[in-house]
Chains A and B, each alone.
Chain A
Amino acid sequence: AQSVAQPEDQVNVAEGNPLTVKCTYSVSGNPYLFWYVQYPNRGLQFLLKYITGDNLVKGSYGFEAEFNKSQTSFHLKKPSALVSDSALYFCAVRDVQSSASKIIFGSGTRLSIRP
Chain B
Amino acid sequence: KAGVTQTPRYLIKTRGQQVTLSCSPISGHRSVSWYQQTPGQGLQFLFEYFSETQRNKGNFPGRFSGRQFSNSRSEMNVSTLELGDSALYLCASSLASQGTYGYTFGSGTRLTVV
Q: A and B from one assembly?
A: yes
Which residue numbers of A lie inside 8 Å of B, CB to CB? 32, 34, 36, 41-46, 49, 51, 90, 94, 100-108
Closest residue of A by beta carbon distance from B108: A43
B7 at interface by CB-CB < 8 Å = no
Q: Report the minimum CB–CB distance from B74 to chain A (whole Å).
A: 15
Q: Are A102 and B100 in contact (CB under 8 A)?
A: no
- B48 and A107 contact, CB distance less than 8 A: no
> Is the pair A102, B99 in contact by a Cβ cutoff of 8 Å?
yes
B105 and A34 form a contact (CB under 8 A): no
Residue B64 at the chain A interface, CB threshold 8 Å: no
Which of B6, B48, B102, B106 meets A49, CB within 8 Å?
B102
Nearest Cβ distance between residue A12 and chain B, in whole angstroms?
20
Q: Of the candidates B45, B102, B107, B108, which one forms a contact with A34 in the assembled complex, judged by CB atoms under 8 Å apart?
A: B102
A107 and B42 contacting across the interface, CB-CB below 8 Å: yes
A88 CB to nearest chain B CB (Å): 10
- The listed residue (B103, B107, B108) touching A103 by CB distance below 8 A is B103
Collect the chain A residues with CB atoms within 8 Å of residue B110's CB: 41
Q: 14 A-B Cβ contacts within 8 A?
A: A36-B105, A43-B6, A43-B90, A43-B106, A43-B107, A44-B92, A44-B103, A49-B102, A51-B101, A90-B43, A94-B99, A100-B56, A102-B99, A105-B35
List B contacts of A46 (CB < 8 A): 102-105
